[in-house]
Structure 1
Amino acid sequence: MTRDRVAVIDPSNFTPPYDHHLCEGLADNGWKVKLFTSGKTNWTPRDYERVQAFYPLTEGRVGDALPEKIRVLGKGTEHIIGMLELVKRLNRWDPDIVHFQWLPLPFVDVPLVRLIGHIAPTVLTVHDSTPFQGSATSRLQRFMTEKGPQVVDEVIVHTEETKAKLVEASVPEKDISVIPHGVIRYPITAHLPTNNSEKTTVLFFGNVKPYKGVDVLIDAVARLPPEVRQKSRIVIAGRPHGSADKLKQRARKQGVTESITWELGFIEHECVGAYFKESDIVVFPYRHIDQSGALMTALPFGKPVIATEVGGFADVLTDGVHGRLVPPDNADALSNALADVLTDKDRRAEMGDAVAELADNTYSWERIAEMTTELYGEALRNQRE
C-alpha cells in the first residue's frame, strides 16, 4: 500500500509516552504523521509533527487560576471547540487514516468521530476496557463510551482479554485487532542517591491507586521471612490518588515501616529511568488491568518482574521465565514469589535477561508499527470496497 498521512488524536494528552513512540514508529515505517493533542510533553518529536489542538486556556496559566469547577466546565467547552476545529483541520490536511487514542468526552466525541469517518477511515485504540477505571461521571458518559468502538472502522486492543470484553459488549470481532503495547524507553538523564545498604531493591512504580494493590504489597512484605525482609528494600514511587495516609498506617500496623521507602509525588521525566535502573526487581500487584505502561517501561531495563496474573501481565510475562505471576489480591502468594526471587541472585539475572529480550524483539515499535500499518491497509481496502 502507498503510505501517506496519518492523524493521531489524543485530545487530553493522556498517554504522551505511548503517543510519541507510536508516532515515531509509524514515521519510521514511511508515514507522514501529525499528533493532535494538548499540554506539554517531555518527548521531543523527531520525525512527526505535534499540533497543540486542544485546551489553550484551561491547561495554561488561565486555567491554573480558576476554581476547579469552573476550570472543568471551561475545559469541557474548550473540548467541544477543539473537536469542531479538528474536523476543519482534518478536512484541510486530508489524512489517509485518523487514529484516535482516547475519546475523553464521549457524548461529544462519538458523533464527531462519525463525521470524521467521511474524511478518512477511523481507528480507535482501546487502552482500557474499563472506561475511566469505572468512575465515569454519568450513565450517558458510560453509554457513549461504550459506543466509541462501535462507530470507528477498526479497533486496536493490546490483549486478547480486552478483545473478549469488547466482543461481549457487541463490538464485531472482525473489527478488532490485537496489537501489543510497545516498550517505553525513558532516557536516563538523572541519578538517584546510591543504595549503600546493599539491600535488594523491589520497585513499585506508577500512580498509587486502589486497583494497583499497594495495600496487598504491604501485606506481602509483612509475610516475608524476617531474614529476607531485613535484606530487602521496597520502594513505592509515584503520585498517590488522594491521600496515602491509610497505606502508611497499614505499613505501621504490619510492622514494615522500616522496609518501605515512600517516594510519593510526581516523578519527573528525567528521573523515571533512574528508578528502574537502580531497582533489582519490579513488582505490579494490580487487582485488574488491560495493559500497563509501567510494565512496558520496565522491560528495557531487564529486571525480573513479579506481577499478578491479570490482563497484559499474563500476556507479556511467563511465570518462572521473566519473573513470577501470582493471583490478584493474594498477599501470601505475592510474598512467596517475592521471597523466591529475592533469595536467588543467579535466577534474578536469568529472568532479567529474558525480560530484556522481550523489549528488543516481541514488543519493539518496529514490529508494532508494521502491524499497525497492516491494519491501516485493511481499513483503506474496506473503504474502497
Structure 2
Amino acid sequence: MLNFGRYPVKAVNVALIEPVGSHGGMDYYDSGLCGGLASNGVPVTWYTCDVSEPCGSIAFEVKRPFERIWGKEPAWKRGLRYVRGLFSTMHDARARKASIAHFHFFHVGPLEALGVMLARLYGLKAVATIHDVEAFKPGLTSTSLRDLTYRLCARLIVHNRVSRDELISRCQVSAAKIRVIPHGSYLGLIAPAMDRNLARDTLGLPQDEKVVLFFGQIKEVKGLDLLIEAFGKHREAMAPVHLVIAGKVWKDDFARYQALIDQYGLGDFCHLHIRYIPDDELSTFYSAADLIALPYRRIYQSGVLLMAMSFGVPVLASDLPGMKEIITDGENGFLFGAGDADLLGKQLVQVLSATPDVGKVVAQASADMQSKFSWKTIAAQTLFAYKELLMVEKV
C-alpha cells in the first residue's frame, strides 16, 4: 500500500463528467459518488445534462453544460451540443483548478474519446469508470477509439474482478492501470420504503399473495424469458403468487415475452408496466414485492440488485461472477444456476415458501449496504485512486 506521508500529493479537485444523469438513471450513482467525495472533504463538481437533479442530503456543486443532448432531434445536432458541453466543462474545470476529470462509460465512441482527449489537453488527469466492458448493443463501441481512450486514461475503475479480467483480456489494458471499486448502495439516495399495503393498493395487487418483481430495462441479456418460463412451470407450487414486470423495452421485442405469458396461461397472474418507471415510483414497486428476481444471462454489475438490497427486499439472482461478488447465497441473498429456468423455478419455490430464514438474509444485506457498500466507503477508495495519480516525489 502506498504511504502518502512520504510524498506530497497535489490537491484533489474533481470534475465528475457524466451527461446521462437523471435522463437515464445515473443520477443516483453520480450523487452517491459526489456526496461521498464531499463527505471525505474533496471539492467536486458534477457536470451533467440539463434534466439532472442531485439525490440525497449531502451538498455538492452541480453544473449542467450538456443542454438538449437527449430527445428526438437529429443526432448530429445533439452531438454538436454534446461537444459544446465538453468544451464548456473543460473550461470551467480548469478555471476552478480541477486536477481530476472522472468519466463514466458504458461504451466508447467518438464523443467519449473526445472527452478524454480534451481532459488531457486541459491538463487534467483522466479517470474513467467502466460500467460495461463490452456494450450490450452491437456497434456502439469503436475498438480503435476504445483502445486509444483507455490508453489516455490514467486510471480505469471497474466494479468487480470479472470486469477487471475482461478489461485485461479483451482490451489489453495493463492490470496496473485498473482499480476495482464496488458500486455503492442507494441508502440516503432513494425515498424510504412505503407501507406495503399502500404500495400494493397503488399497483392493484392483492394483499395476501406473494409478489415477485422483475424491474429495469427489458433486454435480451436480462433473461426475462427464463423468469416467465420458471413462473409458468412452477406457479402452482408457489401459489398464490403474482409476477410484476416493470421497465422499458430496450433493443428487444416484448411480443416474445407476451407469447410466453400466453403460452403458460399467466395473463391473470402477470402485471405488466412496460414503460419507463420514474424515480418517484421506485418505492412503490419495491415496497410491494416479496422478492426481486434478476435472472440475467450476462451482466457486469447491477444497480437493481443494490437498490433491492437497499430497500430491504430479498433478491434471487443468477450465479454470474459479478453477482457472486456481492451475494453470498443464503447469507445476504439467493442465487440459482444462470440460464436454467428449472433451477430458477425451484429456487423461487424455496424462497417464497420461507424455507430459508429470509429475514436474516435481508438483515445481512442491509448491514452490507450500510458498511462495505456505503458511498463514504466507496468514495474513500476512489479518493485513494486519485491520490495515486497526484503524488509528487520529493526531490
Could you state the TM-score of these two structures normalised by the residue count of structure 1? 0.89
Tell me which of 180, 185, 191 is aligned to 1:183.
185
Q: Indicate the residue corresponding to 1:356 in structure 2.
A: 366
How many angstroms does 1:311 deviate by? 4.0
CA contact (8 A) 2:107 2:140 kept: no
Tell me which of 192, 198, 207 is aligned to 2:199.
192
How many angstroms does 1:107 deviate by? 2.4
RMSD between superposed Cα atoms in Å: 2.4
Tell me which of 123, 127, 132 is aligned to 1:128.
132
Q: Indicate the residue corresponding to 1:166 in structure 2.
A: 167
Tell me which of 238, 258, 269 is aligned to 2:247.
238
Q: Matches of 2:228 and 2:298 in 1, distance apart?
A: 18
CA contact (8 A) 1:11 1:102 kept: no
SS of residue in 1 equivalent to 2:127: strand
How many angstroms does 1:309 deviate by? 1.2
Tell me which of 8, 27, 31 is aligned to 2:38.
27
The code of the aligned residue for 2:126 comes to T
Q: Indicate the residue corresponding to 1:259 in structure 2.
A: 269
Q: Indicate the residue corresponding to 2:6 in structure 1.
A: none
SS of residue in 1 equivalent to 2:41: coil
How many angstroms does 1:225 deviate by? 5.4
1:295 aligns with 2:305: yes
Q: Matches of 1:311 and 1:147 in 2, distance apart?
A: 28
CA contact (8 A) 1:288 1:311 kept: no
The code of the aligned residue for 2:148 comes to K
Instruction: Give the length in aligned residue pairs.
Output: 372
How many angstroms does 1:368 deviate by? 0.5
SS of residue in 1 equivalent to 2:358: helix
How many angstroms does 1:372 deviate by? 0.7
| CA deviations over 1:341-360 (Å, ceiling 9, x no partner) | 01116622122112111111
1:79 aligns with 2:82: yes
Q: Indicate the residue corresponding to 1:379 in structure 2.
A: 389
Q: Indicate the residue corresponding to 1:335 in structure 2.
A: 345
Q: Matches of 2:110 and 2:390 in 1, distance apart?
A: 27
1:38 aligns with 2:49: yes
Q: Indicate the residue corresponding to 2:4 in structure 1.
A: none
Q: Matches of 1:53 and 1:189 in 2, distance apart?
A: 34
SS of residue in 2 equivalent to 1:183: coil
Could you state the TM-score of these two structures normalised by the residue count of structure 2? 0.87
SS of residue in 2 equivalent to 1:251: helix
Aligned residue runs from structure 1 range 94-113, under 5 A: 94-102=97-105, 106-113=109-116
How many angstroms does 1:197 deviate by? 3.9
| CA deviations over 1:172-193 (Å, ceiling 9, x no partner) | 1011010000012311487534
Q: Matches of 2:166 and 2:150 in 1, distance apart?
A: 12
How many angstroms does 1:74 deviate by? 1.0
Distance change in 2, residues 1:9/1:382 (3 Å):
farther
CA contact (8 A) 2:12 2:386 kept: no
RCO greater where, 1 or 2, for CA within 8 Å and sep 6 or more?
2
Q: Matches of 1:281 and 1:354 in 2, distance apart?
A: 15
CA contact (8 A) 1:179 1:372 kept: yes
CA contact (8 A) 1:188 1:270 kept: no
- Fraction of identical pairs, as percent: 25
